[in-house]
Amino acid sequence: MPTPVYPPPIPQRSNMLQALCKMPRSFLSLLFTRSYEMKMGEISLPKTKVFFVNQPELVRQVMVSEQKKFPKHHLMHEALLPLLGESIFTTNGEQWRQQRTILSKAFASAKMTDIYPMMNAAVDDLLVRLEQERPKKAVLDIDPWMTFVTADIIFRTIMSTRLKTEQADKILAAFSRFQSIAPLSALLEVYGLGAINKYTPSERSRKRAARIIRQEIKEIIHPRFLCKATESAAQTDILTHLLNVCDDETGQSLGIDELVDHVCMLFLAGHETSASALTWSLYLLALDQDVQRTVHNEIDQVLGDKPLEYKHLRNLPILESVFQEALRLYPPVAFLPRECTAHTKMRNKDLNKNDVVMISPWLIHRHQKQWQDPHEFKPQRFHDPACQATIRHNYLPFGMGPRICLGAGFARQEALIVLAKFLKIYHIQMPSDFHPDIVGRLTVRSANGLQLVLEKRG
Ligand code: HEM
């Protein structure tokens, strides 16, 4: 089995000019050989320093024990503001705490069993459309299909509406534009060139893309906001819970702009990450035909000729380990930037106020000193008792501490449904001349999609 693709690390750290040339395409192209071995590294920029923290105890210090000292970086808040507004993904302090309480309640009330039929129906629709399309093409790019189904699942579970193709064309194209410009904007900001960035055509195009997405989402939720008093009690989507939220102290409910912020954030955090994880899971299974065979056997044994049901999801450990290993090799959120708010010493390095502390699931998951065969696809490591300590201390695809992903359970359920139903029907192979072109932007994706040959199983 060949080693799954990853961008070959460059021998030496890039200087500012090299970084400005490479990074607009991908954050990952800046990583150098030592990045995968060091406990902690440092890059000096004109206005700040960036510290890469890989050592497990230090990662816990930043993400858990001293997390208040290391809030989300303000540049990330500013970069995502046009799309996500003042939403939980980038806010800090008391504002974040209140939002986390509201959204946790909404997620807890919308039970996974209630959401299951909505996810299931979206996947059934995907499979019908895929089967219409498949005979027309010998090779299919599966990546847009995964993006569509995860966006459709968010639409159905959050707003009880199906994603129409024309809506998808508009929203997903706008999001793709927004995401492709993100690394350049971030780099200019980090280099202290934010003032120039504001006036670049690409920045204006990024803001336009964000407006298009927000407008589309607003058009869907506004009518329900206006008649929330008469909302059907039978509605079980997440928006119903958000519409019914009211502040314990003031009794006030959320305004329309706050709702748009929350829904846009859930749309972004919820579909893009899951689409990335699903595409990489399928890539790895196409690459490793032996593992694919064991997954097919597991699905056949658990389902027989019956359709997938909620209760089956806990009986697919091999499939689940493939998903976990895909998240290790290709963590959709590869970098978690934090801001140092007060002087701190770490490994004899002085971190000062405003310095960037970068926790990178990408580097931590592939660290040479922590993992055996870090770049190899070995889903069985998730069932190997000897690997559990490594996993416990060096595996954080959903983040860590109080800001851990709110949708981790949602994402796991969604992934198992999509993969189990898809693999029940299809055997997948990759054309021998196809190699994904991996890029790290807001999420880790393949710039040339994922070409697959889909054969129906007997
Ligand atoms: C495989 C899929 C997913 C991955 C890998 C993922 C990963 C992450 C990560 C790493 C964070 C923390 C970021 C940080 O600490 O800087 C995060 C936060 C978050 N995620 Fe996810 N996510 C996924 C799916 C979802 C889904 C499906 C939803 C909702 C439907 C969601 C909602 C959120 C929210 C609301 C936060 C912010 C939490 C906070 O700051 O308090 N995620 N996610």
User: Per-residue pLDDT tens for 305-356?
Assistant: 999 999 999 999 999 999 999 999 999 999 999 999 999 999 999 999 999 9
- From 25-29, 152-156, 271-275, the region with the lowest mean pLDDT: 25-29
Spacing, Cα 431 to ligand 1 middle (Å): 33
Q: Does the Cβ of 359 fall within 6 Å of ligand 1?
A: no
User: Per-residue pLDDT tens for 89-126?
Assistant: 989 999 999 999 989 988 887 788 889 999 999 999 99
Mean per-residue pLDDT, 127-141 = 90
Mean per-residue pLDDT, 125-152 = 93
* Atom 8 in ligand 1: residue holding the nearest Cα: 398
Place of tokens 């230090």: 58
Examine the pLDDT at 190 and tell me if it is beyond 70: no
Mean per-residue pLDDT, 128-143 = 90
* Atom 17 in ligand 1: residue holding the nearest Cα: 405
pLDDT number for residue 157: 93
Mean per-residue pLDDT, 353-372 = 96
Give the H/E segment covering residue 126: helix 112-133
Q: Who wins on pLDDT, 15 or 181?
A: 181
* Atom 18 in ligand 1: residue holding the nearest Cα: 405
* Atom 31 in ligand 1: residue holding the nearest Cα: 407
pLDDT number for residue 195: 67
Q: Does the Cβ of 110 fall within 6 Å of ligand 1?
A: no
- From 136-140, 255-259, 436-440, the region with the lowest mean pLDDT: 136-140
Examine the pLDDT at 1 and tell me if it is beyond 90: no
pLDDT category, 21, cuts 50, 70, 90? low
Examine the pLDDT at 419 and tell me if it is beyond 90: yes
* Atom 13 in ligand 1: residue holding the nearest Cα: 399
pLDDT number for residue 295: 98
Spacing, Cα 394 to ligand 1 middle (Å): 18
The CA distance from 374 to 118, in Å, is 36
Q: Does the Cβ of 418 fall within 6 Å of ligand 1?
A: no
Q: Does the Cβ of 70 fall within 6 Å of ligand 1?
A: no
The pLDDT > 70 percentage for the chain reads: 91
* Atom 2 in ligand 1: residue holding the nearest Cα: 274
Read off φ and ψ for residue 88, nearest 5 degrees.
-55, -30
- From 5-19, 36-50, 289-303, 385-399, the region with the lowest mean pLDDT: 5-19
* Residue pair 184/204 in contact by the 8 Å Cβ criterion: no
Which of 72, 86, 92, 273 most suits a substitution to test ligand 1, by most atoms within 8 Å of the C-beta? 273
What sign does the dihedral 382-384-385-388 (CA atoms) show? Answer: negative
445 forms beta bridges with 439
- Residue 290, classified by CB atoms within 10 Å of its CB into exposed (0-12), middle (13-18) or buried (19+), is exposed
pLDDT number for residue 30: 76
pLDDT number for residue 10: 75
Residue 357 DSSP label: E
Domain boundaries, the chain: 16-453
Query: Using DSSP, how many helices (H) and how many strands (E) does the chain show?
Result: 17, 11
How far is CA 262 from its chain centroid?
16
pLDDT number for residue 48: 83
* Atom 42 in ligand 1: residue holding the nearest Cα: 407
The pLDDT > 90 percentage for the chain reads: 66
Examine the pLDDT at 18 and tell me if it is beyond 70: no
pLDDT category, 285, cuts 50, 70, 90? very high
Q: Does the Cβ of 274 fall within 6 Å of ligand 1?
A: yes
Q: Please name the fold of domain 16-453.
A: Cytochrome p450 (1.10.630)
Q: Does the Cβ of 270 fall within 6 Å of ligand 1?
A: yes
pLDDT number for residue 229: 61
* Residue pair 336/359 in contact by the 8 Å Cβ criterion: yes
Examine the pLDDT at 196 and tell me if it is beyond 70: no
Average pLDDT in the chain: 90
- Residue 190, classified by CB atoms within 10 Å of its CB into exposed (0-12), middle (13-18) or buried (19+), is buried
Q: Which atom belonging to ligand 1 lies closest to the Cα atom of 150?
A: 27
User: Per-residue pLDDT tens for 39-55?
Assistant: 999 988 777 899 999 99
pLDDT number for residue 70: 98
Spacing, Cα 400 to ligand 1 middle (Å): 10
Spacing, Cα 268 to ligand 1 middle (Å): 9
Spacing, Cα 341 to ligand 1 middle (Å): 23
Cα torsion 83, 86, 91, 94 to 10°: value is -170
Three-state DSSP at 1 gives: coil
Q: Who wins on pLDDT, 417 or 196?
A: 417
Mean per-residue pLDDT, 11-30 = 64
Amino acid found at 280: W
Spacing, Cα 395 to ligand 1 middle (Å): 15
- From 10-14, 159-163, 318-322, the region with the lowest mean pLDDT: 10-14
* Atom 23 in ligand 1: residue holding the nearest Cα: 273
Q: Does the Cβ of 407 fall within 6 Å of ligand 1?
A: yes
Q: Does the Cβ of 333 fall within 6 Å of ligand 1?
A: yes
Examine the pLDDT at 68 and tell me if it is beyond 70: yes
